[in-house]
């Protein structure tokens, strides 16, 4: 049974005439007659009494008429709901963000996106970038924000933020008052890094190796604020993006620029070829508008 046949049937009932219904639908009368015969054949009933001068519904026709009202009404409502969804997305988005990125960007994203799309909720999943990539690939997270590089064969990758790394020490450290430090000057320092679940762990090691040394790792953590605390009590130094300094206690931590600093490049990822809900599309559009990604 096709919806168009039900629609033609309803038009004939509405106008009480094949002729008038044909004029309303811009179809020929034979086309409408063929459609009704097809419908009657599929249902194995007669819909109209054809022996009377006035077009009348049979008892079966009355039932079909009432059900057609429901079916076509639901179809129209479905169209309206989809249109509403496209213009006013609803639902929940699971967004995976490493803790450091979450600290810097998620509150602003949640606030401003929420003002635009109050019917969409954001569920924050805070894990290391490697774990976030796995969850996006497995479809357990809708959107991830990760540190580049990432696997372009698995993900659609949209550049997000690019920022330079800085050196962080306690105020008594010999480098604390320097205007600039070269990475190779840190060869004998004790490093405090994110653990191996985090992309920043390998990123820092790679840049140190390019500078001619392998960093002496004294402590590892999954929490940026603990890393800062360890630095503040003189247990080592760390390299972190510049913007995190806005969250630190300026009395206990010093930030020193690096010569030719490593860069922190972030990207928004979604699983390649996965259907994106209207809510997720709205979030990606929001990030594009806000951060010009």
Alpha-carbon gap, residue 36 to 60, rounded angstroms: 13
Alpha-carbon gap, residue 207 to 211, rounded angstroms: 6
Mean pLDDT of the chain: 90
CA distances from 100 to 37, 125, 127, 129, 224 (A): 68, 12, 10, 10, 6
- More confident call, 5 vs 224: 224
Which residues, in sequence order, are CB contacts of 62 under 8 Å at separation 6+? none
Share of the chain above pLDDT 70, in %: 96
Quick one: pLDDT band at residue 83, thresholds 50, 70, 90?
low
Alpha-carbon gap, residue 192 to 220, rounded angstroms: 6
* Rg, the chain, Cα only: 32
User: Has residue 292 got a pLDDT over 80?
Assistant: no
Q: Which phi-psi region, left, alpha or beta, contains residue 26 (left: φ > 0; alpha: ψ -120 to 50)?
A: left
Q: Are 197 and 224 in contact (CB under 8 A)?
A: no
Please give the average per-residue pLDDT across 173-193, as a whole number: 96
Alpha-carbon gap, residue 253 to 166, rounded angstroms: 12
Nearest-CA neighbor of 97 among 121, 122, 124?
A: 124
Domains and CATH numbers, the chain: 3-87 (1.10.10.10), 91-293 (3.40.190.290)
Please give the average per-residue pLDDT across 111-123, as a whole number: 92
DSSP letters spanning 186-214: GTTSEEEEE-TTSHHHHHHHHHHHHTT--
- DSSP element (H, E) containing 264: strand 263-271
Quick one: pLDDT band at residue 293, thresholds 50, 70, 90?
low
Alpha-carbon gap, residue 150 to 243, rounded angstroms: 22
Q: What is the pLDDT of residue 284?
A: 94
Q: Is 167 exposed, middle or buried (0-12, 13-18, 19+ CB in 10 A)?
A: buried
Alpha-carbon gap, residue 122 to 106, rounded angstroms: 10
Pairing mode, strands 48-49 and 56-57? antiparallel
Q: Give me the phi and psi of 157, to 5 degrees please.
A: -115, 125
Which residue is associated with the tokens 């390998």?
A: 202
Quick one: pLDDT band at residue 71, thresholds 50, 70, 90?
confident
Nearest-CA neighbor of 189 among 176, 177, 202?
A: 176
CA distances from 186 to 117, 207, 212, 223 (A): 47, 12, 10, 22
Quick one: pLDDT band at residue 134, thresholds 50, 70, 90?
very high
Alpha-carbon gap, residue 191 to 265, rounded angstroms: 21
Q: Are 170 and 232 in contact (CB under 8 A)?
A: yes
Q: Give me the phi and psi of 255, to 5 degrees please.
A: -115, 130
Give 220-279 pLDDT, tens digit per residue.
999 999 999 999 999 999 999 999 999 999 999 999 999 999 998 999 999 998 888 888
């Amino acid at each position: 049974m096709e919806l168009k046949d039900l629609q033609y049937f309803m038009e004939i009932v509405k106008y009480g005439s094949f002729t008038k219904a044909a004029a309303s639908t811009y179809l020929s009368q034979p086309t409408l007659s063929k459609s009704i015969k097809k419908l009657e054949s599929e249902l194995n009933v007669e819909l109209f009494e054809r022996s009377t001068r006035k077009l009348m519904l049979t008892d079966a026709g009355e039932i079909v008429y009432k059900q057609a009202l429901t079916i076509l009404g639901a179809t129209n409502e479905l169209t309206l709901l989809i249109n509403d969804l496209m213009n006013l997305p609803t639902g929940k988005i699971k967004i995976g963000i490493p803790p450091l990125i979450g600290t810097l960007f998620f509150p602003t994203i949640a606030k401003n996106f929420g003002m635009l799309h109050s019917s969409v909720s954001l569920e924050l999943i805070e894990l290391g970038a490697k774990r976030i990539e796995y969850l996006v690939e497995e479809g357990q997270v809708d959107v991830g924000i990760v540190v580049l590089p990432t696997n372009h064969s698995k993900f659609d990758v949209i550049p997000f933020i690019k920022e330079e790394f800085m050196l962080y020490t306690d105020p008594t450290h010999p480098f604390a008052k320097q205007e600039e430090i070269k990475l190779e000057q840190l060869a004998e320092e004790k490093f405090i890094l994110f653990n191996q679940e985090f992309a920043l762990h390998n990123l820092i090691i790679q840049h140190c190796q390019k500078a001619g040394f392998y960093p002496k790792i004294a402590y590892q953590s999954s929490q940026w604020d603990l890393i800062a605390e360890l630095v503040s009590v003189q247990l080592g130094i760390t390299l972190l993006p510049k913007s995190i300094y806005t969250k630190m206690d300026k009395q206990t931590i010093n930030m020193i620029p690096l010569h030719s600093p490593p860069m922190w490049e972030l990207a928004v990822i979604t699983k390649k070829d996965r259907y994106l809900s209207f809510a997720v599309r709205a979030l990606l559009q929001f990030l594009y508008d806000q951060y010009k990604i």
